[in-house]
Structure 1
Amino acid sequence: MPSGLMALLDDVAAIAKLAASSIDDVAGATGKASAKAAGVVIDDAAVTPRYVTGLSPARELPVIAKIARGSLKNKLLFILPGAMALSAFAPWALTPLLMIGGSYLCFEAAEKVAESFLPHHDAGGEAQQFSDPAELEEASVSGAIRTDFILSAEIMAIALGTLSGEPLLDQAIALLAVAVVITAGVYGVVGLIVKMDDIGLKMASGGSGARRALGRGLVHAMPRILAVMGPVGTAAMLWVGGGILVHGMEHFHITALPHAIHAIAESAGRAAPFAQGAVEWIVSAGASAILGLAVGAVIVAAVIGIGRLRGKSAH
């Protein structure tokens, strides 16, 4: 009987170790997948605050909460099942789909670059089209959720691409964790950004001198932070989109450009041995961003050309 009990305890210990190992594997896969999707996450966080422009301050956080719920619904009810079906039945299609998504990222980023030099529609004017605040809020939420669906699909596809060697159940759990963590992180940051000026005003209205100074600093800093977020998000999209295309080329044995990028990055790293890894990453990311901008510019030019041929505005 004692030997039977010891055997049972050994089995329980083995199962516990296996479970712990699986949890570690899933946690590692989740972290890796989230890191790979960082560029799109940054852009998501940069894009969303514009959807609360024109709304009353009291409605900003409730609207962000509505968008976050819609985002989580997009990921869990539509994108996650589609991603798992793709992984189970057509894993060969993942790289081409990732390259299509990467090209779309490059297109979006190149379009934003073009808009900084060309006349374009003023998003703030949209608020003037609605006399009813509830109607404006509903339109803002609907528009944000539609945009989020595209960005969420890109995030989940990139995350799935990093999990291709994992068991199917681990992929599903990791993607579920990515969906929840990224949604909470993005919209938590968005909520903080949107209300930061209000927090600064409250701090500046009373308390110690240091508290008031910090509050005034927040109020003055927020316009600069919001101004920087857009270009940072665009650069991140170019880096991620271009990187996806480079990896896709390697997958299909189109190696001339990827090898050239790796060689340039390694040479730059050897020239700066005190920070070799960081320099190699910066050069590689920069080269990927340049490729992304070039690909995106070609797509933008094609879209504009098609629009003109159809006699429509290219916007």
Structure 2
Amino acid sequence: MPSGLIALLDDVAGIAKLAAASIDDVGAAAGKAGAKAAGVVIDDAAVTPKYVTGLSPSRELPIIGKIAVGSIRNKLLLILPIALLLTAFAPWALTPILMLGGTYLCFEGAEKLMEMFGGGHHGEAEETSDDPAHLEKKTVSGAVRTDLILSAEIMVIALNDVADRPLWTQAGVLVVVGLAMTVIVYGAVGLIVKMDDIGLHMAQKPSRLSQTIGRGLVKGMPVIMAALSVIGTFAMLWVGGGIVMHGAHELGLHWPAVPVEHLAHAVAHATGPVGGLLGWLVTALISAVIGVVIGGVVALVLHQVGRLKPGAAH
């Protein structure tokens, strides 16, 4: 009996060590995969603030909270199981699906760009309502729908980095990356949209320095929010265009991905200390142009199809 108990305890200790090593493995892989998805996280953070621009300040954080919950649902209940199933049974389908998502982002960005220049209106913009609850529900729905595409890219980037690991390790990494990225993105967004309230609070402090910083925040945040709204639109375009460009490269169409990569490397090597940033900017700008072209074509086609519907305004 004692020897049997000792053997059992040895087995339990061995299992515990294996579990601890596996957790460390998941953590390390999640950190590495998350770093590779950092660019998309920045784009996600730039896109989101535009959804609360112009809404009641008292509803900003609740709306962001609802979007964050929707983002977690996207990542863990939709993307994660589908990604694991596709990886196991149809890995060839991941790239085309991502490209479809990228095309949708291009379309959304192009529609917003057309609105900025007065050349069109988003399909949902024609519907108006004075009901704040209806407007909030519509805002959250649109944000979660856009988040689905960005979250899918984050998760697929993470998945590609651990594609050779066991299935449960892949699942663990995706869960960790999904939750961490959601907290980072929407925590940052919440801080950004409430920065004017923080500035107002600081402006009421007795310290002259605090008052100066607070007034600066209050005056500057409307400009920053307007800028973020524009950045969010262009983020849709460069992310969407980049997804389509890199997806086409993976499917065997090496133009324009290869020339763009060579140009970015050439700019990076020629510009010294700021080469990394300028190389990235080259890729981002060209991706945005591709996004405008793709999104513009899709928007025009959909608008023409919409005009063919009975009763549609011409």
Task: Indicate the TM-score class for this superposition, using the shorter chain for normalisation.
Answer: 0.7 to 0.9
Report the aligned-residue RMSD: 3.3
Higher mean displacement: 217-226 or 285-294? 285-294
2:33 paired residue among 29, 45, 68: 29
Residues of 1 paired with 2:299 and 2:19: CA distance? 54
What corresponds to 1:150 in structure 2? 145
Moved more, 92-101 or 103-112: 103-112
CA distance in structure 2 between the partners assigned to 1:144 and 1:111 by the alignment: 16
1:224 Cα deviation after fit: 0.6
Q: Would the alpha carbon gap of residues 227 and 313 (structure 1) be closer, same or farther in structure 2, given more than 3 Å must change?
A: farther
Q: Deviations over 1:185-205 (max 9, x none)?
A: 333233323322222222212
Matched residues in 2 for 1:232 and 1:85: separation? Answer: 34
Determine if the alignment matches structure 1 residue 228 to structure 2 residue 227.
yes
Contact 2:109–2:295 (Cα < 8 Å) also in 1: yes
Aligned to 2:102: 102
Residue 109 of structure 1 contacts residue 235 of structure 1 at CA under 8 Å; is this kept in 2? yes
SS of alignment partner, residue 37 of structure 1 = helix
Pairing of 1:103-182 with structure 2 (within 5 A): 103-118=103-118, 129-130=129-130, 136=132, 138-162=133-157, 163-164=159-160, 165=163, 166-182=165-181
- Asked if 1 retains the 8 angstrom alpha-carbon contact of 2:268 and 2:275, the reply is yes
State the SS of the aligned residue for 1:224: helix
Contact 2:26 2:172 in 1 (8 A): no
Deviations 1:157-182 (A, max 9, x none): 21233223244323322322233223
Select 1:49's aligned residue among 35, 48, 52: 52
**1:139-163 CA distances to partner (integer Å, 9 max, x unpaired)?**
2442233223322321232123322
Offset of residue 97 of structure 1: 0.5
Instruction: Give a deviation string over 1:235-257, Cα, whole Å, max 9, x none.
Output: 22222112111211211111132
Check whether the contact 1:84–1:172 (CA below 8 A) recurs between aligned residues.
yes
* Match in the other structure for 1:218: 217
What is the rounded CA distance, in whole Å, between the counterparts of 1:204 and 1:243 in structure 2?
A: 42
Q: Secondary structure at the match of 2:256?
A: helix
Amino acid at match of 1:82: I
* Corresponding position of 2:189: 190
| 1:299 CA displacement | 1.2
| Residues 71 and 145 in structure 1, CA contact (< 8 A), matched pair in contact too | no
Between the aligned partners of 2:149 and 2:72, the Cα distance in structure 1 is 14
CA displacement 1:116-161 (0-9 Å, x = unmatched): 1116669xx999943xxxx52x324422332233223212321233
Where does residue 206 of structure 2 map in the other structure? 207
CA distance in 2, matches of 1:169, 1:147: 32
Q: Which moved more, 1:143-152 or 1:14-23?
A: 14-23
Deviation sequence 1:257-295 (CA, Å, 0-9, x none)? 222212322333343244433332222222222111111
Instruction: Please report the TM-score for the alignment, with normalisation by the length of structure 2.
Output: 0.81
Native 8 Å contact 2:61 2:190 kept in 1: yes
Tell me, in whole angstroms, the C-alpha distance in 1 between the residues paired with 2:126 and 2:228: 21
Q: Does 1:77 align with 2:77?
A: yes
Q: 1:203 to 1:21 in 2, by over 3 A?
A: same
TM-score scaled by structure 1?
A: 0.81
How far off is 1:296 after superposition?
Answer: 1.3
Q: Return the alpha-carbon distance in structure 1 between the equivalents of residues 46 and 313 of structure 2.
A: 26
Are residues 158 and 193 of structure 1, via their aligned partners in 2, closer, same or farther at CA, if it must alter by over 3 Å? same
**CA separation in 1, counterparts of 2:174 and 2:14?**
32
**Is the CA contact (8 Å cut-off) linking 1:268 and 1:279 kept in structure 2?**
yes
Aligned-partner Cα distance in 2 for 1:203–1:93: 52
Unaligned runs of 5+ in 1: none
* Alpha-carbon offset, residue 65 of structure 1: 3.0
Question: 1:265: which partner in 2?
Answer: 264
Task: Look up the match of 2:65.
Answer: 65
Query: Cα distance 1:211–1:109, how it changes in 2: closer, same or farther (>3 A)?
Result: same
Matches within 5 A, 1:228-247: 228-247=227-246
Equivalences, count = 302
- Answer with 299-308 or 208-217: which moved more: 299-308
Q: Which residue of 2 aligns with 1:20?
A: 24
